[in-house]
Structure 1
Amino acid sequence: MIFGYARVSTIDQNLDRQLDKLKEYGVEKIFNEKVTGTRKDRPELSKMMEQLRRGDTVVIESLSRLGRSTKHLIELMENFNELGVNLISLKENIDTTTPTGKLVFNIFASISQFERDLISERTKEGLSSAKARGRKGGRPKKENASIKKAIKLYNSKEYSIKEITEMTGVSKPTLYRYLKEQVNN
């Protein structure tokens, strides 16, 4: 059977272009989802993997739709090999039924990881540059009455964290963050 997998990173993005290419190729069953490629736990990808059998083929529009991590792409490829499943990437013209296709797959998987590493590096440099100029990232911290009350209740040692979060509406991670800041100051 010929399976297709299509993915976009956000709900606002459109799958039509990928779906058209997969249908044009002759894919019999398409799995698609709107979730970031960096996540390993993609429900539709998992469903497809469960249905794969020896001799099946998985067709994707491009490697970046399957994943951006070299490690994850290689893990998927190893799973495909163990199952006796072929992979065809239309954009990169990869067909793993051939030795050349297997080589090209590994090269493109490395390039995909390199691209992701560059994006991460540029993001870190940008945040560092902004920090050097006195700008902080993330949400502004609010020292409000609910947080003060939550800290007071915590320090009283009379209530569980669950009780404190229910009484104040302050989430557990927020409470712990403020408690940690108190210890560090």
Structure 2
Amino acid sequence: MTTMIGYCRVSTVEQADSGLGLAAQRETIQRYADAHGWEVEWYVDAGHSAKNMDRPQLQAALDRLNVPAKRRDVGGIVVAKLDRLSRSLADFASMLEYARGRSWSLVAIDLGVDTSTPTGEMVANVMMAVSQWERRVIGERTSAAMQAAKHQGRHMGRRSALPKATADRLLELRSTLTLAGTADTLNAEGHTTATGTAWDEHKVCKTVHRLARDAEAARLREAVLAS
């Protein structure tokens, strides 16, 4: 009899304590497993979001799957809903490719993805194609937006990070003080620039303009991704 990993996740500690969200996921997975004659071993991340794949139990499950097929004691991983595994289609597509390369099954019951079956494999292929198309379109839009911003004199690359508390304090001071007064107060309070140096009038002026440009660049990126 095939043994599958049943993976469950809830985002908050409150949901974990109540057990309701986990119970519903377990019931869905168990019912599907019973219909396919599978045994289930459970891995549960309680109080973890799906913003990335860095979750203890998910990584433990993937480590168990990431062994040669002859030594692997489980056939794959099953989730009740895709968003329990990942909210990113790109991440899910990457995991599908990972599973295919290592010959284990990935099942997302709500979407009908079950790479142990021909139909489920077809659905997975469609999802991977859509994800690849989405990544290329977003990349092209972002590139076009960055080129337009460059022509307008905006900078959209990475810089040394200024702590948010320092940036907020700088803008607060600058709303009532001169450039020199802002610099003096920041230095007196122990705030440094992004590169760790002391403030002066020129650095205050330059940083204020940069923060404004960065805010506009962030708004532009969001507009591109939402379009």
Normalising by structure 1, we get a TM-score of: 0.57
What residue number does 1:46 align with? 59
Please state if 1:34 is matched with 2:47. Answer: yes
What residue number does 2:77 align with? 58
What residue number does 1:181 align with? 208
Query: Partners in 2 of 1:184 and 1:97 — Cα distance?
Result: 51
More helix by share: 2
What residue number does 1:102 align with? 121
Pair 181,48 (structure 1): closer, same or farther in 2 beyond 3 Å: same
Q: How does 1:15-164 map to 2 (within 5 A)?
A: 15-24=22-31, 25=33, 26-52=39-65, 53=67, 54=69, 56-108=75-127, 110=130, 143=172, 152=184, 155=187
CA contact (8 A) 1:95 1:101 kept: yes
Could you report, residue by residue, the CA deviation over 1:16-50 in whole angstroms, capped at 9, with x for unpaired residues? 21122234434123333332222232222111100
> Over aligned residue pairs, what C-alpha RMSD do you find?
4.0
Match for 1:40: what amino acid?
A: M
Match for 1:18: what amino acid?
A: Q
Percent identity between matched residues is 25
Residue 13 of structure 2 aligns to a residue whose secondary structure is: coil
The answer for unaligned runs of 5 or more in structure 1 is 115-140, 165-176
Normalising by structure 2, we get a TM-score of: 0.48
Match for 1:22: what amino acid?
A: I
Match for 1:77: what amino acid?
A: L
The answer for unaligned runs of 5 or more in structure 2 is 16-20, 34-38, 135-167, 197-203, 213-227
What residue number does 1:11 align with? 13
Residue 21 of structure 1 aligns to a residue whose secondary structure is: helix
Query: Partners in 2 of 1:73 and 1:27 — Cα distance?
Result: 21
